[in-house]
Structure formats: structure tokens, C-alpha cells
Amino acid sequence: MKRRNFLGLGFTTLAVAALQNTSSANILAEHPKAFNATKGDDAVQGIYGTTDVMKDDKAVLKLPDIAENGAAVPVTVSTSIENAKTMAIIIDGNPHPLAAAWELSEGTIPKFSTRIKMKKTGNVRLIVEDANGKLHEAVKQVKVTVGGCGG
């Protein structure tokens, strides 16, 4: 593909993303470096411009202690913070630690479940950004018996 076509495609994608989501920011478009980061703290810095976090019980991370299959580890993230702005899952042992980020909006209950890939045993972190831009963190170590970052 020619470079110019490739760039055009990129802009089209961004434009479509912007149209889909006019009510709030676009984390991916605004903080692409965070998604390419290879260290967990760089990913947090990339999105939030700081790595200062409060370790309190306001960010809640539910994960198994042991994951037999790293290719599909069930996770539920939630927060008790009212009007929280964003949430992000950081998997420190993965090649690209930022696994997913969410923009929260009014009416959305900040409790999400999905399945993540984990390459190896390590910490999974949930970062919740409150309405004042302060970060709250939950950390949980998950033991992975078979890694799942292939594919």
C-alpha cells in the first residue's frame, strides 16, 4: 500500500471514531503512545501524564488467583467513585501492558467484565480516574500456568 493511501486510511478511521463518539474524548486518538508503551508505568504516564496513584479500595479488580489458560482470563473491573472519568487495565507482564481503557459516561454503571490475555505470572492493575483527575489503583497478582499472548 502506498504511504499516502495508508495515511488516508488512518485519518478516515480517526474521523469515523470521532463521529461515533462526539460526547467524550477518544483515548486512543489522544494518547496513542500509551497503547504502544512496553512498560506498565509508561502506559499510565501516557494516558494520564502521571504515575501518582492512590492505592485505596475505590478501584476494585476481580480476577482469579491462578489462571490455567493465559489466553482467556476472566476479569471484572469496577469502582465506587461517582462520576469517574476513565478506567484502564494494565498487565505489567505483557509486551504492551495497556490491555483496555474505558471512557465512562452518565448512566453507565462502572462495572465491566471481559477476558484478557496474560503472557506470564505478574500483576494486573486497574487505574480509575476520578472526576478531579486523581488516580486510584487496585493491584492483583495472577499466577499464569500457560501463557496466552500468541496469535
Partner 1 sequence: MGIKAKVKNDIATVKLLVKHPMKSGKLGGGKGESKYINHLSVKHGGRVVYDMYPTSAISKNPYIKFAFKGAKKGDMITVNWTDNTGATEKKDIKLK
The residues that touch partner 1, with contacts defined as CB under 8 A, are 9, 12-13, 16-17, 20-21, 23-24, 26-28, 35, 71-73, 89, 91, 94-96, 98-109, 111-117, 148-151
Per-position b or e across 15-43, b if 16+ CB within 10 A of its CB: eeeeeeeeeeeebeeebeebeebeebebb
Q: Which is nearer to partner 1, 42 or 103 (CB)?
A: 103
Nearer to partner 1, 37 or 135 (CB): 37
Backbone angles phi, psi at 118, to 5 degrees: -125, 125
Q: Using CA atoms, how far apart are residues 15 and 13, in angstroms rounded to an integer?
A: 5
Q: Closest distance between partner 1 and the C-beta of residue 85, in Å?
A: 11
* Comparison of 54 and 108: residue with beta carbon closer to partner 1: 108
The least distance separating partner 1 from the CB of residue 54, rounded to whole angstroms, comes to: 23
| DSSP symbol at 83 | T
Report residue 72 as a C-alpha cell: 482467556
Burial 70-85 (b: 16+ CB within 10 A, else e): bbebebebbbebeebb
CB of 47 to partner 1, least distance (A): 10
CB 103 → partner 1: shortest distance, Å? Answer: 4
Residue placing its CB nearer to partner 1 in the complex, 2 or 109: 109
